[in-house]
Amino acid sequence: MTDPTCIFCKIATGAIPVERFYEDDLVLAFPDQTPKAPTHVLLIPKQHIPSHAHTGVADEGVLGRLMTAAATVARDRGLSEGYRLVTNSGEQGGQTVSHLHLHLLGGRPMGWPPG
């Protein structure tokens, strides 16, 4: 199911074109439009899931695929020195687009703790 008002659903369906770094039946990876690192890829489920907080046991398949797809994209994009995966959830988590996504960030050292 997709939400016709959701920007990431429009990207998933192709209504908004993006460079598709990785795609399978469940997930899509594409560049973040405002990159926060030399490599900044977003990985999304093709179905509309508003956030990580909205997932449960029924979503184990797509959640697992997001993680393994992120490893594939990290390898494909040469992040052999390491990378960071982030999912922001809800207002205090800093989520601004209400469609679940993983940020894959790499190409520079990452600080800790995050802001």
Binding site for Zn ion (CB under 5 A): 3, 6, 8-9, 48, 99
- Return left, alpha or beta for 46; rule: phi > 0 is left, psi -120 to 50 is alpha, else beta: alpha
**Catalytic residue list:** 101
Residue 97: exposure state from Cβ atoms within 10 A (0-12, 13-18, ≥19): middle
Q: How far is the CB of 32 from ligand 5GP (least distance, A)?
A: 5
Q: Which residues bind ligand 5GP (CB under 6 A)?
A: 7, 18, 30-34, 42, 88, 94-97
Instruction: Give the residue with the Cβ less far from ligand 5GP, 30 or 83.
Output: 30
